[in-house]
Amino acid sequence: MDLRFLDAVPDSLEREAVDAVLGPAESGWDGGERRAGDLRYARGGHAARARRDLLLPALHAVNDRTGWISPAALDYICRRLTVPPAEAYGVATFYAMFSLQARPARVVHVCTDIACAAKGADRIRAELAERLGPPGDASGEQAGAIWHESPCLGLCERAPAALALEAGSPPRFAVAAPARAEDIAALMTPPPVDTTPSNGHRPATTFAPSPLSGGTVEPAPSAAVPQAGVPGLVLLRRIGVVDPESLDDYRAHGGYAALRQALRLGPAGVIREVVESGLVGRGGAAFPTGRKWEATARQPASPHYLVCNADESEPGTFKDRVLMEGDPFSVIEAMTIAAYATGAEKGYLYIRGEYPRALSRLENAIARARGRNLLGRDILGSGFDFDVEIRRGAGAYICGEETAVFNSIEGRRGEPRSKPPFPVERGLFGRPTTINNVETLVNVLPIMLMGGPAYARIGTGGSTGPKLFCVSGTVSRPGVYELPFGATLRDLLELSGGVAEGREIRAVLLGGAAGAFVRGDELDIPLTFEGARAAGATLGSGVVLVLDDTVDLASILVRIAAFFRDESCGQCAPCRVGTVRQEEALRRLAGGSASRRTELRVLRDVGAAMRDASICGLGQTAWNAVESAIDRLGVFAAPTTDTTEEAR
**Could you give the count of Cα atoms lying within 13 Å of 380 in the half-sphere of its Cβ?**
15
CB 491 within 8 A of CB 475: no
Sign of the Cα torsion 69, 71, 73, 77 reads: positive
Return the CATH fold of 458-548: Ubiquitin-like (UB roll) (3.10.20)
370 C-beta neighbours (distance < 10 Å), count: 15
Q: What is the pLDDT of residue 637?
A: 82
Q: What is the pLDDT of residue 223?
A: 83
Strands (E), 69-199: 106-111, 145-150, 162-166, 172-176
Please identify, in words, the CATH class of the domain defined by 247-455: alpha beta
Instruction: State whether CATH 3.40.50.20 applies to domain 106-189.
Output: no
Strands (E), 393-440: 433-437
Q: What is the pLDDT of residue 42?
A: 55
Q: What is the pLDDT of residue 139?
A: 62
CB 75 within 8 A of CB 100: no
> Distance between CA 155 and CA 322 in Å, rounded?
10
- Phi first, then psi, for residue 18 (nearest 5°) are -65, -45
Domain boundary assignment for the chain: 12-92, 106-189, 247-455, 458-548, 553-632
> Distance between CA 46 and CA 24 in Å, rounded?
17
Entry pTM: 0.92
Which stretches of the chain drop beneath a pLDDT of 50? 191, 193-210, 213-214, 641-648
Maximum distance among all Cα pairs of the chain, rounded to whole angstroms: 87
DSSP alpha helix (H) spans, 221-350: 247-252, 257-277, 289-297, 319-326, 328-342
Residues 433-446: tens digit of each pLDDT = 999 999 999 999 99
For the chain, percent helix, then strand, then coil, each to nearest 5? 45, 15, 45
> Distance between CA 492 and CA 185 in Å, rounded?
36
CB 637 within 8 A of CB 631: no
Q: What is the pLDDT of residue 200?
A: 36
Residues 249-294: tens digit of each pLDDT = 999 999 999 999 999 999 999 999 999 999 999 988 889 999 999 9
* CATH annotation of 553-632: 1.20.1440.230
Residues 6+ apart with CB under 8 A from 276: 290, 451, 452, 453, 456
DSSP 218: P
